[in-house]
Amino acid sequence: MLQRLDLRGVDYILTKPRPAVANRVPVDQAKTVVLPRPEIAGEAPRSAVKEIIEAVKARGDAALLDYTKTFDGVALDQLRVDPSALQDAVDKLPSELRLAMEAAIERIELFHHHQLREPAIVETDGVRVEAYQKPVGRAGLYVPGGRAEYPSTVLMTAVPARVAGVADIALCVPPNRANGGVAPSVLAAAHLSGVSEVFAVGGAQAVAAMAYGTESISPVDVIAGPGNIYVALAKQEVAGDVGIAAAFAGPSEVVVVADATANPDFAAIDVIVQAEHGPDGLAWLVTWDEDVANSVCAAGDRILASAERADDVRATLAEGGYVALVDGPDQAIQVVNAIAPEHLELQCENADQLARSVDNAGAIFCGHTSPASLGDYVAGPSHVLPTFGSARFSSALTVTDFLKDHHIVTASPEGLSKLGPHVVALADQEGLAAHAQSIRLRTDQTS
């Protein structure tokens, strides 16, 4: 099920080659391993994405309809889903599913309300600075489709935006190939979580439409949500013209760290869970016990024998599935920090303590009864997480992705008199005479 790597006795564990570092063992005297990682994309996908974006900018809705027919096999008359369909989808939800959505919304709201900051006022030396947050005016959410329906992703993106105070939330989701519609569960989740409008469009073309606008889709201020490699690359391309929430939210990833206390079935199913999302993903088992490696792989084979998406999972694991043998917990964390996975599960002793030593991971799940699937649906934090190593510098989607910090500075004459000379000294040093003069004119006339 998994490709095996023996990392025992390795000094440096990297995900790409790096030069020697001062005061460390020289590279040529150390045992260094560069961990395998799927290529993010070649030139062909990047070129295709750029072409799609330019076409949408030039042709608007016509380009969206053409790409929807080409990529999704659906000929649509309009892109916007009738608003009445959202309420209708809620009315027809099975009771258990509606209760599940409402429970998830409640927990997501509760968690994200704690991320809001109260306005702050700092006043010293006659200068008053007020800091406060304001939401963006319009957010665009992307929810994958095609291979499956993801109402959970609607909740995990729309609820944080609504908690942030965003008044206008647009949602793009690929239409169903069978009937050209959007899955009722997705529409219901959109209505329950406060989405303003839904559009049946996916892929890089949806990202372009939200970034630049078309006849049907008004441009947004921030785009959030995961997607395949083309969606992720499109967000990279439009970044700067529009805000891109969180980090590179691409194909799913998991690292499971397991020791002899782990249940092989639990570890195996959790490796399979993220591979179930489709191609280009990454799934690792890391252990310092060969018996654990063998038993987890055997359990995985048993589970896959009857899995609904066995072929998809096997294809993903063939390209991005690994079991790494390490010397112990410390080296396991070195592997984790090098991979910087989207999801990390610690199915081992002292999991809570070990979690504190992790520097790079999108979300950490501690203990044998804390699977990543809990975080995918109801734990509270958003399941939109950084992938492809971007957990080194980024985090999960939060309300701050939909907020802007505003600052108001008010100086009294006394404050300007006291701090003005410092401005003059710094401005003169930088050769910015007008900056210094803006202070001198005021202090001369108010003294």
Q: What's the CA gap between 424 and 399, in Å, rounded?
A: 39
276 is catalytic: no
343 is catalytic: yes
Residue 101's contacts (CB-CB under 8 Å, 6 or more residues apart) are 93, 151, 155, 188, 189, 192
Measured between alpha carbons, how far apart are the two ends of the chain, in Å? 79
Spatial separation of the C-alpha atoms in residues 311 and 326, rounded to whole Å: 29
The pair of three-digit structure tokens given for residue 303, joined into one six-digit string: 């589970």
Secondary-structure percent of the chain, ordered helix, strand, coil, rounded to 5: 45, 20, 35
The count of C-alpha atoms lying within 13 angstroms of the C-alpha of 355, restricted to the half-sphere facing its C-beta, is 17
Go through 148-177 and write b for each residue having 16 or more CB atoms within 10 A of its CB, e for each that does not: ebbbbbbbbbbbbbbbbebebbbbbbbbbe
Pairing status of strand 120-124 against strand 32-34: unpaired
Place of tokens 């700092």: 122
State the Cα–Cα distance between residues 222 and 77, nearest whole angstrom.
27
**Residue 259 CB neighbour total at 10 angstroms:** 20
Contact between 124 and 418 (Cβ < 8 Å): no
Could you give the CA distance from residue 92 to residue 170 in angstroms, rounded to a whole number?
22
Annotated catalytic residue, options 343, 383, 406, 414: 343
Spot the catalytic one: 237, 253, 276, 342.
342
Give the C-alpha distances (Å, rounded to integers) separating 196 from 81, 87, 100.
11, 12, 22
Cite the active site residues: 342-343
